[in-house]
Amino acid sequence: MTPQPRAARPRRPPDAGRSAVYAGEDQVARLLDRSVEFPVVEVAGSKIALPPERHFGDLAGVQRYVDRVLALGWVARRWPEAAVPVTVRERRGVTRAHYEAGTHTIAVPVRGVETRWALRELVLLHELAHHFTGSGTGAIDAGHGPAFTALLLELAGGVMGEEVAFLLRVAWMDQGVVIG
């Protein structure tokens, strides 16, 4: 009996801006990590007082944070997807966090010292931005394109403070990211 060929898995379109988006976010994360030593920084000719960033010690804390962001009145009014609950689960690998559209799940690495980068507010807002761009709700996933970056700027500015949105905008401009 001849084996039947497998059906090809549909390919996602390339996410050309992804690495530049991550590079800009990493730049902002480094600034926020050093905010105790340098609470005020000069960026693009502006002096910015760095706001504190929330860090989490476990999945329960991450889940509480995600639930609270989704419950914010302005978030619920702005993005109907906020009405869809998001579950948080542990991710086995240590190099990535991701959003699973079909199950509305954020997967973050938890175990090990090298996972501290993922248990932070900016990473969780990034993953929630994927949820809000319509991933899994019938809308077209924005990947890391202009619709995604505009949404993340709005979300980060509203939750973490406009200073963070400014830092992201400047970092992304330096990386050549297109902001919608």
Distance CA 177, CA 142 (A): 14
pLDDT per residue as tens, the chain (180 positions) = 555 555 554 455 567 688 999 999 999 999 999 999 999 999 999 999 999 999 999 999 999 999 999 999 999 999 999 999 999 999 987 788 999 999 999 999 998 767 778 999 999 999 999 999 875 444 455 689 999 999 999 999 999 999 999 999 999 999 999 998
And the tokens for 34? 């050093």
pTM of the predicted model as reported, rounded to 2 decimal places: 0.88
And the tokens for 98? 């991701």
> Pairing mode, if any, of strands 40-43 and 46-49?
antiparallel
Q: What are phi and psi of 24, to 5 degrees?
A: -65, -40
Distance CA 79, CA 73 (A): 10
- Expressed in angstroms, the distance from the first to the final Cα of the chain is 54
